[in-house]
Amino acid sequence: MTSLAALRIPPGIRVFRKIADFRAWRRQILLSGQSLGYVPTMGALHQGHLALVSAAQRQCDRVALSIFVNPAQFSPTEDLASYPRTMEADLEKLAATVTEAAVLVPTIEEMYPCGIPLDVARQKGTFVEVKGFSHMLEGVTRPHFFRGVATVVSKFLNIVQPEEVFFGQKDVQQCLVIRRMIRDLHFDVKMNVCPTVRDPSSGLALSSRNVYLTDTQRPYALALYQALTHMKALYDQNQRHAPTLIEAATAIIDKARDQVRANNCDWDLKLDYISINSPDDLSDITGDISNGCVMSGAIFVGKTRLIDNLLVDVQI
Ligand code: AMP
């Protein structure tokens, strides 16, 4: 990362590199009787992140963010090294969104004092697992992902001690994992889930990883959202049988994949999963979904893995 000394920091934004310095700032806010809203991020900020920041500003007196690309949630074969890091642009976007915010940008060494090799078998120290919520859906392709997320969020909740914390519905399983963790570990914080922000013209869910998509791949990346909205349209026409909906959604992804292949692209489009689950415990719904559900999926567009979801007649 660019050293903080070399960064241009816009007015209104305070950047903390050391946890102790952030804590001193936080203590003053507590003493002044103000509430603190907190948004955890990995940076490469876009309108999805900024919507969480705006919600935090509306609901709380003060706003804090963390920007930390968390090694513990990447597998050795994933994109930790190439994950977009755009600190200066992030701070500019933040300053254009809120008049005032604190940004915690801790070092890996301070966050993981025992070190954090990506190979889980070699890791030492304390990790948080949310059993029963982490192994399905995203957890099939990314078996240690939610362990990494739950661990880093619990560290940050201990450091930041916000009154309220803000997450995006875009990562719906993450929301359910964190909600379970907050309840189980008695974190004294109110959790807010904000709606997914999409590209206004195409509907593509905003994601820091969208920058990996080439111009040719971009239109095909929409196949997942189209598959999910098709399921929702069928549901609205009273089709309530989960396997029928999944079949219809899979056909849309298959069609996009066939087009990619017919166009002789040098990359492939692959379905990871399309699933219909209970919003309570993410268990598969294999029959009738009249009581509402989470429709979610993941596809690979070339090397880029994209996720998306719709909440159907439920809130999380
Ligand atoms: P990340 O930086 O990807 O870890 O995301 C940080 C937070 O932003 C998480 O709570 C995400 O769910 C949320 N987020 C990411 N993309 C979006 C989006 N398109 N709409 C709403 N929230 C989002």
Does the beta carbon of 37 sit less than 6 angstroms from any atom of ligand 1? no
**Is the distance from CB of 219 to CB of 238 less than 8 angstroms?**
no
Q: pLDDT band at residue 5, thresholds of 50, 70 and 90? A: confident
Which amino acid makes up residue 306? Answer: L
Ligand 1, atom 6: closest residue by C-alpha = 41
Looking at residue 220, what is its pLDDT? 98
Q: Quick one: average pLDDT of 43-69? A: 98
In angstroms, the CA 39 to CA 56 distance is 8
DSSP 8-state secondary structure symbol assigned to residue 233 = H
Work out the percent of the chain whose per-residue pLDDT is above 90: 98
Give distance in angstroms: CA of 54 to centre of ligand 1: 13
Would you say the CB of residue 171 lies under 6 angstroms from ligand 1? yes
The Å distance, Cα 42 to ligand 1 centre, comes to: 9
Question: Distance between CA atoms of 196 and 48, rounded to whole angstroms?
Answer: 7
Structure tokens at 213: 């998509």
Q: Is 80 exceeded by the pLDDT of residue 132?
A: yes
| pLDDT tens track for 65-93 | 999 999 999 999 999 999 999 999 999 99
Instruction: Give the helix ranges, DSSP H, for the chain.
Output: 19-31, 47-59, 87-97, 108-111, 138-141, 145-160, 172-184, 217-221, 223-236, 242-262
Cα-to-centroid distance, 50 and ligand 1 (Å)? 9
- Look at residue 2 in the predicted model and tell me its pLDDT: 54
38, 120 Cβ separation under 8 angstroms: no
pLDDT digits (tens, 9 = 90+) for 222-251: 999 999 999 999 999 999 999 999 999 999
Closest C-alpha among 153, 147, 181, 206 to residue 39 = 153
Regarding the beta carbon of 136 and ligand 1, being less than 6 Å apart is answered no
Helix (H, G, I), strand (E, B) or coil at 303: coil
Residues ≥6 apart with Cβ < 8 Å to 241: 287, 288, 289
User: Which among 202, 122, 112, 179 has a CA at the least distance from the CA of 151?
Assistant: 112
- Residues 175, 130: contact at Cβ < 8 Å? no
C-alpha of 313 from chain center? 22
Q: For ligand 1, what atom is nearest to the CA of residue 196?
A: 20
Task: Give the pLDDT band (50/70/90) at residue 19.
Answer: very high
Q: Are 186 and 154 in contact (CB under 8 A)?
A: no
pTM greater than 0.85: yes
Cβ of 310 less than 6 Å from ligand 1: no
* Ligand 1 atom at minimal distance to the Cα of residue 52: 22
* Average pLDDT taken over every residue of the chain: 97
Is 36 in a helix, a strand, or coil? strand
Average pLDDT over residues 99-123: 98
CA angle 134, 138, 140 (to 5 degrees): 80
In a 13 Å sphere around the CA of 133, the CA atoms on its Cβ side amount to 22
Mutate to test the pocket of ligand 1, among 38, 94, 171 (most ligand atoms within 8 A of CB): 171
Inter-residue contact 205 to 308 (CB < 8 Å): yes
Q: Which atom of ligand 1 is least distant from the CA of 205?
A: 19
Residue nearest to atom 7 of ligand 1 (CA): 41
Share of the chain above pLDDT 70, in %: 99
Tell me the CA–centroid distance for residue 288 and ligand 1, in Å: 30
pLDDT at residue 4, as a whole number: 77
Ligand 1 in contact with 196 (CB < 6 A)?
A: yes
Cα(238) to ligand 1 centroid in Å equals: 31
CA 32 / ligand 1 centre spacing (Å): 30
Quick check: 292 pLDDT over 90? Answer: yes
Does the active-site annotation cover 49? yes
Catalytic residue among 49, 144, 186, 241: 49
